[in-house]
Amino acid sequence: MVSTRSGGAKNTDEKAGDKRTASATTAKKPPAKKAKKEQDGKLEVGDNGEVGLAKEEDDAEGESEDAGDGETKGKGQDENGVGDARMTNERGEDETKGFTDARGDDADKSIGEMVQGEEAGGNEEPSHGNGHIYFLYRPKIDATDVESLDDVSKFHILLLPKSGPHASSHYHRIIEVGKKKLPDPGAKRQNIWGLVGTTSTDKAGLKTAFGEYSYETKTKGTRHQPAARPAARGHYILHSPRDEAADSPDHNKQRDYKVLLAYEITTPPPEDFGRVQEELGLEQKGAVVLTIKDPDSGDNVQANPRAANMPREKKAHYPKHLHDLFGNRRWIAPNPVSFLDYEGTELLLMSSPHDLEDMLGKDGEKVEADMDQAAEKESTDIEGALKELGMSKGDVEIEALEGAWA
């Protein structure tokens, strides 16, 4: 079996070492533009400077400057909002156990063939998708330099599909990730909340979503939100290894297949992997298990800090054929992956103690080899990555793509 853990990755139970000084950069003067708002479910920049589906506050002035860092702790979460965040039903049963047990007594069976469409149509085979993936972090308000995760406000995953119905468009999904990092690689059980904040075909919207902006406050005057920094770029697949448990007549095959977000980073190259990638929980090759929450299940048992105080109208509204897949469950796998096309989708990103090849199932070696081939074919340099984002070196700091905080 081929090991897929990054050779440069450190033990995630260890604390980060001494801070690495970011490369010197030319200071930018904050633009003198004010915050804008877009309605009808599109990206929103509110009076408090938050972009996307931020939690609503009665008093924007009272919001912490550490945006995204003051998350409320939900039931079942530890003091860090991760770890034993188990999703239980009314009987106290753990509804996520089947998702995280990527390999148990039942040997996984890989699907092998990739389904081109992403819409549910009565298929019992899981849907798949692949494309380019970016991991970006946004510094805290008015921050000039980022030297560690403590200086980070938010962490995002950007998916640019290159297969299925979105293959020839500029379609993108932006996933907001809680705790400003992925689950620790190899952790036996660690769950982190997420939220589909934006889906769009407007490439210019990427610059709006991740660019810098300024806004006015009554008490502190003009505040400046620095642009998000890309920390890594690579290739991803959405893959569903089929197990025998899901073949039981008691299971809905489409609903119960696990869905993995597997990725392989090409920028930065392995030799430039540094503290930025390690502290964000990134590997050269890795995967997390995805599961989504029924938007009608309520927050009486678990509350997603990324969706705190979000009114129902801003949560996901699935068509009937998708919503019916939940049945009486609060949590299911996002299968088909078109679930991720709906803004306001609440999800968990869950760790697995298994190597990537094991997580990918019976044909994991072949699936991983195919991912290697695609990643190599689609690799690009820093300039190419910024161009894909509709940005340039003048728009954003790039030191993180070289392993150093900036």
Domain ranges within the chain, ordered by starting residue: 76-207+228-402
How far is the C-alpha of 25 from the C-alpha of 45, rounded, in Å?
27
224-233: burial string, b at 16+ Cβ within 10 Å, e else = bbbbbbbbbb
What is the pLDDT confidence band of residue 349, given thresholds at 50, 70 and 90? very high
Detail the DSSP E strand segments found in 75-151: 108-109, 129-139
Q: Are 201 and 185 in contact (CB under 8 A)?
A: no
Mean pLDDT of 322-329: 92
What is the pLDDT confidence band of residue 189, given thresholds at 50, 70 and 90? confident
* pLDDT of res. 240: 87
Which tens digits make up the pLDDT trace of 363-383?
A: 888 889 999 999 999 999 999
Q: Measuring CA to CA, which residue among 293, 215, 232, 202 is closest to residue 51?
A: 215
306: three-class secondary structure by DSSP = helix
Average pLDDT, the chain: 74
* pLDDT of res. 252: 58
Task: Tell me how far the alpha carbon of residue 108 is from its chain's centroid.
Answer: 25
How far is the C-alpha of 326 from the C-alpha of 254, rounded, in Å?
11
pLDDT higher at 227 or 113: 227
Which tens digits make up the pLDDT trace of 197-239?
A: 999 999 889 988 999 999 999 999 999 999 999 999 999 999 9
* pLDDT of res. 249: 64
31 preceded by a cis bond (ω within 30 of 0): no
* Residue 316 pLDDT exceeds 70: yes
What is the pLDDT confidence band of residue 167, given thresholds at 50, 70 and 90? confident
Kindly report the length of the chain: 406
* pLDDT of res. 244: 56
Q: Are 47 and 37 in contact (CB under 8 A)?
A: no
pLDDT higher at 145 or 290: 290
* pLDDT of res. 363: 81
* pLDDT of res. 305: 73
Torsion angles phi and psi, residue 399, rounded to 5: -60, -30
Instruction: For residue 98, give Cα distances in angstroms to 72, 111, 127, 241, 256.
Output: 26, 18, 18, 12, 9
Q: Are β-strands 229-239 and 346-350 bridged in parallel, bridged antiparallel, or unpaired? A: unpaired
What is the pLDDT confidence band of residue 36, given thresholds at 50, 70 and 90? very low
* Residue 389 pLDDT exceeds 70: yes
Q: Are β-strands 331-332 and 285-293 bridged in parallel, bridged antiparallel, or unpaired? A: antiparallel
Comparing 54-63, 97-106, 305-314, 339-348, which segment has the lowest mean pLDDT?
A: 54-63
Could you write out the DSSP letters of every residue in 349-406? EE--SS-HHHHT-TTHHHHHHHHHHHHHHH---HHHHHHHTT--TTTS--GGGGTS--
Which tens digits make up the pLDDT trace of 135-158?
A: 999 999 999 889 999 999 999 999
Mean pLDDT of 14-30: 42
User: H-helix or E-strand containing 208?
Assistant: helix 204-210
Mean pLDDT of 299-320: 77
Comparing 64-68, 309-313, 315-319, 348-352, which segment has the lowest mean pLDDT?
A: 64-68
Mean pLDDT of 115-130: 47
**Assessment of whether the complete model's pTM goes beyond 0.75:** no
